[in-house]
Amino acid sequence: MQSARQLFDTLNTDYSAVHKTKEDLFWATYMATSSDDAGFARAEEAYKNFISDPARLAAVRSALAGLGATDPDEAERALRHGLKGWLALFESNIIDNDAARQRMSELIQLEAELFAQRRDLVLQHVGEAGQLEDATLSTLSTNLSTNRNQAARKSSHDALMSLERWVLAHGWLDIIKKRNAFARAQGFGNYFDYKVQKNEQMSAAQLFTILDDFELRTRAANERALSDLTRSHGADATQPWNLRFHVSGDVTRQLDPYFSFAKGLQRWIESFRRLGIAYRGATLQLDLLERTGKYQNGFCHGPIPSYFDGQGHWVAGQINFTANAKPDQIGSGARAINTLFHEGGHAAHFANVTQNSPCFSQEFAPTSMAYAETQSMFCDSLLDDADWLKRYARNAKGEPIPDELIHARIETTQPFAAFAERGILVVPYFERALYQLPDEQLTPERVLALARECEQRILGVAVGPRPLLSIPHLLNQESAAAYHGYLLANMAVYQTRAYFERQYGYLTDNPAIGPQLAEHYWSRGNGISHNDTLLSLTGEPFNPKYLADSCNQTVALAWQEAQSQMAAAATRDYPPPTATNLDATIRIVHGAEVIADNGESDQAMCQQFERWVGEHYPASVQ
């Protein structure tokens, strides 16, 4: 029989191996550099079998019971802590009967088949040049927001609607049924209830107490914004192919020269460095451009979770993240830097988990999605701040963004702050109702009708600008029935922002922020609850009112705050950055091609990246 120490060391080593094998194949298949879907499915199943193994759970429980009531020294305290981390992981993922394990195996195969078919699907729309062209989800979304031609915008939305029908015709409803059967085999009413309990350690009823409250708080603001839009632009303004354009289209075009795609990498590195964010020696691999067959949604996964091993040696993280930018498309630069901040925030979090086991620093349960997304969404929230825009958003001549353009941005987007958050909110309302449907009602017609019902009730429009079944998160079991995590995270983001504003008076380029996040939010990984991280930093438990108050803010007040931010920034004596780089090995790739790396320096990498973009997308740098 293994000792508790031997068991702990074996779990750390074996998990690291099975996790890396799965993640390497995940990256290769999702980036379309490999078509080994069968190999990935096998690796995924091996990983699932590891984290849901009843024998490992029993061994951990036995080891903990054998440690005794108290810890005689620091080594045993650390061992107990590490084993409790494994206990939480296994209890979050346990599949304790053969029927459920069989359904999980079947689910993995069904999802692998759907993924392979989806990778080969090509959507088309009329792009900026007025020509029919292949399009990714990212380019469809950007075209909906920026193309001045209504027919072209409608072609993008039509493509999303066709994707909904494609999903329904290619086995997704069978996956829904199988997910529910898997959940019922474990004693849950449906898959939504199962995921909420496993991912967020709360019941669906507890979740919807929060969501219903937020829905009520933001309902009037959403209705008012849609009414004002119709009054200003006519009844067609709320058509799904017009809404985003009327909200931000012209302003996005005006902003575009100040958000160079080629400069995005440099601005991300400089901004994070000045925030005091560092990656503790991690290796980062970034694949930022769209490509045929590549997965059409940004993500961050870590093949090597960071931790201190049994000898006390630091195991630096290896982290991959991706975007789907089309550099010569209007709005692509803004979307790209948003992805860099968002996924770079995830990477900073997972690179800074300083516990004694990889179980604390991986992105799956018991890591709460709301907790994980708080880190990324806090970072990308900085891009909306007037002082960040003033310091970093510059055109090709080096001129800063004008105040009047920042005002125009606030004037168009602030009234729709509630609509934007409700665009997240609609997903859990739909998914909960979807998984509550009996199998015989899981037909394409009923599911589409349910999607439209939810969009009308939560968004206030007949069809959403992003139709529900076109959201890729719904297709994959890791992200399915978890989208509410983004909204819970944004609530925590605004609570966190409010704390830093009270404490320091500003956020942009504040070098205290990175170390504070590392200490209170990142270092303990999933060994601390989301609520306890907020208590640790802000001194108060989870509070959704900060986000609701922001959504309900008037344009006048938002502009007044922006002016105050810019005025204070103009006279502020900023502390110098605490480091010269991000303490990371960074590779920028395009599929199998390495575009740039920081082997020489971060600055040299950014110059390499700019040159590559200029050579391949000359129109984007003019």
Predicted confidence band of residue 130 (pLDDT cuts 50, 70, 90): very high
The residue type of 328 is: D
Residue type present at position 555 = V
Q: What letters, b where the CB count within 10 A reaches 16 and e where it falls short, cover 401-435?
A: beeebbbbbbebbbbbbbbebbbbbbbbbbbbebb
Q: Using pLDDT thresholds of 50, 70 and 90, give the confidence band for residue 123.
A: very high
Is pLDDT of 250 > 90? Answer: no
Percent over 70 (pLDDT), the chain = 100
Mean local confidence (pLDDT), 195-200: 94
Does residue 434 contact residue 469 with C-beta atoms inside 8 Å?
no
Length reported for the chain: 622
Return the exposure string of 228-249: e unless at least 16 CB atoms fall within 10 Å of the residue's CB, then b: ebeeeeeeebbbbbbbbbbbbb
Residue 285 confidence (pLDDT) above 60: yes
For the chain, give every domain's residue range.
4-94, 117-621
Mean pLDDT across 36-62: 96
Q: Report which residue type is found at 406.
A: I
Closest by CA position to 78, among listed 339, 338, 307: 307
Copy the structure tokens of residue 482.
């978890």
Confidence (pTM): 0.95
Q: Report, as an integer, the average pLDDT of 503-522.
A: 98
State residue 4's pLDDT score.
95
Query: Cα dihedral sign for 365, 367, 373, 374?
Result: positive
Closest CA to 527 of 47, 84, 201: 84
Which CATH number does 117-621 carry? 1.10.1370.10
At 310, the pLDDT band (50, 70, 90 cuts) reads very high
Q: Average of pLDDT values for 178-193?
A: 97
- Name the strand (E) or helix (H) holding 251: helix 250-255
User: What's the pLDDT tens digit per position in 172-184?
Assistant: 999 999 999 999 9
Structure tokens at 217: 């708080």
pLDDT higher than threshold 80 for residue 249: no
Return the closest-CA partner of residue 587 out of 282, 266, 283: 283
What tens digit of pLDDT does each residue of 543-572 get? 999 999 999 999 999 999 999 999 999 999
Reported in sequence order, the residue ranges of 375-518 that DSSP labels E, i.e. its strands, are none
Q: Do residues 19 and 305 make contact, with C-beta atoms less than 8 angstroms apart?
A: yes
The answer to whether residue 156 scores a pLDDT higher than 70 is yes
Cβ atoms 428, 207 nearer than 8 A: yes
Least confident range from 147-151, 289-293, 446-450, 463-467: namely 289-293
What pLDDT, on the 0 to 100 scale, is given for residue 622? 56
pLDDT digits (tens, 9 = 90+) for 393-420: 999 999 999 999 999 999 999 999 999 9
User: Which residue do the tokens 């009047």 mark?
Assistant: 404
DSSP letters, 164-211, are HHHHHHTTHHHHHHHHHHHHHHTT-SSHHHHHHHHHHSS-HHHHHHHH
Residue 38's pLDDT is: 93
Report the C-alpha gap between 557 and 549 in whole angstroms.
Answer: 12
Round to whole Å and give the CA distance between 89 and 198. 10
